[in-house]
C-alpha cells in the first residue's frame, strides 16, 4: 500500500488505527485560552471516549461481535447458492 495523507476540517477529528493495532487520536488545534463547547463539537468528545475505551475488555467484546457479524455477512454473500427449480422447492425459494 502507498502512504496516504489526508486533510481534516478545522473542527474535525480522527482516530487512526495502525497496522500493529496501536491508535492515534487527532484533535483540532486549540490555543490555551480556547474551550470546546460540547453541543457544537460533540464529535470531539465521542472520539475521545472511543479512544479511551480501546483497551476496555467490554468495548473490545462489542467490536469483536460486530466484526464476527460483518465477516459472517461477507461469507454468506460469497457462498454459491445452487440453482433452484420449481420441482425442487415447489416455488417457495425461487418465486416461480
pLDDT, one tens digit per residue, over 75-85 is 877 767 666 66
pTM of the model: 0.64
19's grid cell: 497496522
Q: How far apart are CA 45 and CA 39, in angstroms?
A: 10
- Count CB-CB contacts under 10 A for residue 54: 15
- For residue 56, the model assigns a pLDDT of 95
Residues of the chain with pLDDT under 70: 79, 81-96
Q: Which residue has the cell 475488555?
A: 57
- For residue 77, the model assigns a pLDDT of 78
Cβ pair 96, 86 in contact under 8 A = yes
Q: How far apart are CA 83 and CA 42, in angstroms?
A: 50
Amino acid at each position: 500500500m502507498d502512504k496516504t495523507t489526508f486533510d481534516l476540517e478545522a473542527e474535525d477529528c480522527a482516530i487512526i488505527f495502525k497496522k500493529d493495532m496501536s491508535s492515534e487520536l487527532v484533535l483540532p488545534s486549540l490555543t490555551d485560552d480556547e474551550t470546546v463547547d460540547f453541543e457544537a463539537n460533540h464529535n470531539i468528545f465521542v472520539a475521545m471516549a472511543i479512544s479511551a475505551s480501546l483497551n476496555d475488555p467490554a468495548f473490545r467484546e462489542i467490536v469483536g461481535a460486530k466484526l464476527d457479524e460483518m465477516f459472517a455477512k461477507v461469507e454468506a454473500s460469497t457462498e454459491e447458492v445452487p440453482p433452484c427449480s420449481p420441482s425442487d422447492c415447489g416455488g417457495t425459494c425461487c418465486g416461480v
